[in-house]
Amino acid sequence: MTRFDPYFQQALDDLTARGLRRSLRPLSGRAGNFHRGGAPLLDFSSNDYLGLAFHPILRDRAADWAQRYGAGARASRLVSGTLEAHRQVEEKLAHFKQTEAALIFASGWQANAAIVPALLGLSKTQTGHPALVFTDRLNHASLHHGCAAAGVHQIRFRHNDLAHLEEQLVRRADLPGLRFILTESVFSMDGDRADIAALQALADRYNAFLYLDEAHATGVLGPEGRGLSCGHGVDLVMGTFSKALGGMGAYVAGSRALCDWLVNVCSGFIYSTAPSPPMLGAMDAALDIVPGMDAERAALRARAQFLRAKLHEDGWGTGPSSTQIVPVMIGETQRALAIATALEARGMLAIAIRPPTVPQGGARLRLALNATHHESDIEKLVRNIAAVSREKIS
């Protein structure tokens, strides 16, 4: 017991009453054979888009590098934690992203939350004026957290509305300070894409630094899975190894000067123990495998289109989705939870996403496909969504 437990409990009870309380519910098994409480589950909720989390080459190399380099990196990169393995993976990553350099971070959240304030602080030190930061309203929470940590006011533009972004840029054209545009390439709750070419054109026109979060595009979209940034000369690309690349960790890719500067000023890099050798081994293997997975990427695109078409036939909205992330728009929080619970009872894991992750009234099932799903799996899912909705769950 702590002295504040009554306050914690009251806050938890309030979340429960509003259908917003979250809890940890372990799964057992592995891809294609998950179960909870002994009941098998077909997984439509993970971000393992290419099915690499259980790939034997990733597992073997992770184990091999653990044997060769140890279970942990022992220290931060600037102390004694930089291994030859870090350099190897970063060079391979820079080649994959077609940039001068790259840096590895422990997680996507850590990367955004630490890089953004480091980056925005550059304006004050170099110009004497605070940064002007233009952000998509639906950016990931880690990007918003980074802006809050930097103490800057976000100039938010309507989601994927680049005309509105340009209005905001024009309105502040005469203000001092460095300009930054922060956005995602694929948005994790809606499954839609940003127009990278148009964003780059705006950044060029208004001398703004373009920061692109490619977490849900890396491995899946762009030539050889290199992301939507490929070919556009984006200033900074951040992405993760924890989704389509099957492992854990994150990266930033860009110019050599940018990466060298982050080594010197980014607190999340400076003060964190370096990513572990097993993590690096999985990263290294994924970078070898992913460029050759065009067939899996094509299958994933086809399955996503098939799913959207089937849902639309049944009258479900899927928002602006054009990727492997397909939301089933429910609206009311308790109804979304009830449908997700009913689907799990029928052997399908389709997690309900609720506020504050999505806007009020925007509760949904977030369906995330992977390359191992078959059309028969999708047909089964859609049939069961229809069945539980006819039960008038509320």
Q: Which positions are annotated as active-site residues?
A: 47, 140, 184, 188, 213, 216, 243
CB 160 within 8 A of CB 195: yes
> Residue 322 and residue 312: Cα distance in Å, rounded?
14
> Residue 382 and residue 38: Cα distance in Å, rounded?
24
Identity at 303, one-letter amino acid code:
R
**CB neighbours of 2 closer than 8 A, spacing ≥ 6?**
8
Structure token pair of residue 392: 């008038």
β-sheet with 325-331: strand ranges across = 325-331, 363-368, 352-353
Beta strand spans in the chain (E): 28-30, 33-36, 39-43, 101-105, 132-136, 154-157, 179-184, 208-213, 236-240, 250-254, 325-331, 348-349, 352-353, 363-368
> β-strands 179-184, 154-157: how paired?
unpaired
